[in-house]
Amino acid sequence: MTRNLILLFLWLAFPFQISFGQNPEPNKQDPLQDSIHKYTQMAHYEKVFQFATTWAELCKGKHGPESKAYGAALITLGNALNRTGKSKEAEPLLLQGLEIQKKALGEDHPDVAKSLGQLGLLYSNMVNYSKAETCFLTAQKIFRKPPGTNLLAEASMLNNFGNLYRFMGKYAKAEPCFLSALEINKKALGEEHPEVANSMNNLGNLYSEMGNYPKAEPYYLKSLEICKKALGENHPQVANSINNLGVLYDDMGDYSKAESYYLKVVDILNKTIGEDHIEVAPSLNNLGNLYELLGNYSKSETYKLKAYEIERKALGEEHPEAATSLNNIGALYNAMGNRSKAETYYLKALEIRKKTLGEDHPDVAQSLGNLGALYSTRSNYLKAESCYLKALEIRKKALGEVHPVVASSLGQLGSLYQSTGQYSKSETCFLKGLEICKKALGEDHPDVTFSLNRFGRMYLATGRPDKAESYFLTWNTRNWRKFSGIFRFCPTRRKKNFTHPIFPPLRNILNRFV
């Protein structure tokens, strides 16, 4: 499910906090700059690029190719390209603009720090996290000169670091960044400022991804309360907070509550930015995914196709967001049993992602994983294995060996090997995946407890029920009460796995506490 709609609105398909904008402020005396600002707010980045191109040419002619004005114009051009999914084309423009600003303004100028922040966001979008971190660290050093004079910039940097580490799966490093940013914003802006709400949303996202749903919920609720007071009931940032709560309740298995929140989001956005705006598409996809989960395929198809049409018209057919919608449509047809139609959509999404993001992007791995699952259901195990292995290789390379999605790939491989009777290989994959989940997410995360299901099935399939029971008991003896708390907030679709009749020992243990 998609979180952070307002951030998507500001930085399309890229959920970092937008802290370093260098687009011109509205300027009635300069129609070009005013148009750039207007279309940026409307998320019409193709038009932003058109006007910014003209602005850059004028700055170059009037002020020279080494002027700070031309450097800022190049940064604006690079941002516009990045926001339309053209990250590779954006990089040289951002680098050129940065170098011009360094020469014109000096290495330690705040505008240089802002441009470094933009470059860091670009590299994060390209999943080049080491380069992104370097850019953020350099920008942070500039903002800290002299210490304590740029507190809001410091808070923005901390939020960017937090999101960077969150995407890297380094939750222990992300949490203190978000907490520090929240405290700075509270002191500098007051308890009821929208930027405080943004920091709370970041913490809610973190705890939700960590599976700590009870801790995430109060942050989301407080964020919503602040936004309503500060911005009114029908502001896009209010819609963002409502959306995040919808995703939370969806993950917790409270589908009726999730549905009402998602519908409210669509209603607000339709009123404020229009029903065909690109920002509405993620909400439609969330509803489509929810209805698919509930088995209401007709409704799901309607919402998913509408989301794709919006993205196709706004961004073009070969944009990464359009690929995401195609992937979602493929998943729906797969759930409906229409494998050939699902394959067509999966392959199209894979093609777009390879072309726009590169062969080694995690989204490419996701497409390969989906294709692998599809081929597995067709009993085409060799083709499935090839997809899974390639996805695993990409994820390890892009995200590191200890990341939750690497564990997900190992789980897919383990299930495949189990289906083909290769139990030794299956056990190895499951064990590696479990160890990664424990390291990355902590022992109380639902994904860790969900892994017990895989082990139970494997050991039962190999005629070792005693080992299955022993494993469950040994694993959970230390933290049963913690586990029962996690179980209460575990998605319904996972609860069904834990309480399946083939797990009487585990079900009996659960009944003591749940």
How many domains are there within the chain? Answer: 5
Q: What is the CATH number of the domain that holds 290?
A: 1.25.40
Same domain, residue pair 65 and 166: no
Q: Which pLDDT tens digit goes with each residue over 39-85? A: 877 667 778 889 999 999 999 999 999 999 999 999 999 998 888 77
Rounded CA separation 386/14 (Å): 30
**Where a domain ends, among 109, 143, 177?**
143
pLDDT attached to residue 291: 97
Range in 113-122, 155-164, 472-481, 502-511 with the lowest mean pLDDT: 502-511
Would 62 be classed as within a structural domain?
A: yes
pTM score, whole prediction: 0.80
Tokens found for residue 431: 């064990």
Tokens found for residue 227: 């936004």
Q: What is the CATH number of the domain that holds 420?
A: 1.25.40.10
Same domain, residue pair 235 and 321: no
Same domain, residue pair 368 and 251: no
Would 176 be classed as within a structural domain?
A: yes
SS3 call for 444: coil
Rounded CA separation 486/234 (Å): 34
Would 203 be classed as within a structural domain?
A: yes
Would 459 be classed as within a structural domain?
A: no
Same domain, residue pair 428 and 334: no
Q: Which pLDDT tens digit goes with each residue over 226-263? A: 999 999 999 989 999 999 999 999 999 999 999 999 99
Would 252 be classed as within a structural domain?
A: yes
Would 222 be classed as within a structural domain?
A: yes
Total number of residues shown for the chain: 514
Angle at 308 between CA 305 and CA 313, to 5 degrees: 125
Same domain, residue pair 185 and 266: yes
Average pLDDT over every residue of 96-112? 95
Would 148 be classed as within a structural domain?
A: no
C-alpha 247: how far from chain center: 12
Phi, psi at 179, each rounded to 5°: -65, -40
Decide: 168 and 400 in contact? Cβ < 8 Å: yes
CA distances for 65 relative to 11, 32, 101, 399, 446, angstroms? 28, 19, 11, 38, 55
Same domain, residue pair 1 and 139: yes
Same domain, residue pair 381 and 248: no
Residues contacting 426, CB < 8 A, separation 6+: 414, 415, 417, 418, 458
Asked if pLDDT for residue 337 goes beyond 90, the answer is yes
**Where a domain ends, among 121, 143, 165?**
143
Q: Binning pLDDT at 50, 70 and 90, where does residue 468 land? A: low
Same domain, residue pair 376 and 258: no
SS3 call for 350: helix
Range of the domain at 306: 276-344
Same domain, residue pair 2 and 121: yes
Asked if pLDDT for residue 480 goes beyond 70, the answer is no
Would 447 be classed as within a structural domain?
A: no
Same domain, residue pair 1 and 136: yes
pLDDT attached to residue 503: 35
Same domain, residue pair 513 and 475: yes
**Where a domain ends, among 273, 297, 331?**
273
Same domain, residue pair 210 and 314: no
Rounded CA separation 206/306 (Å): 30
Q: Binning pLDDT at 50, 70 and 90, where does residue 26 land? A: low
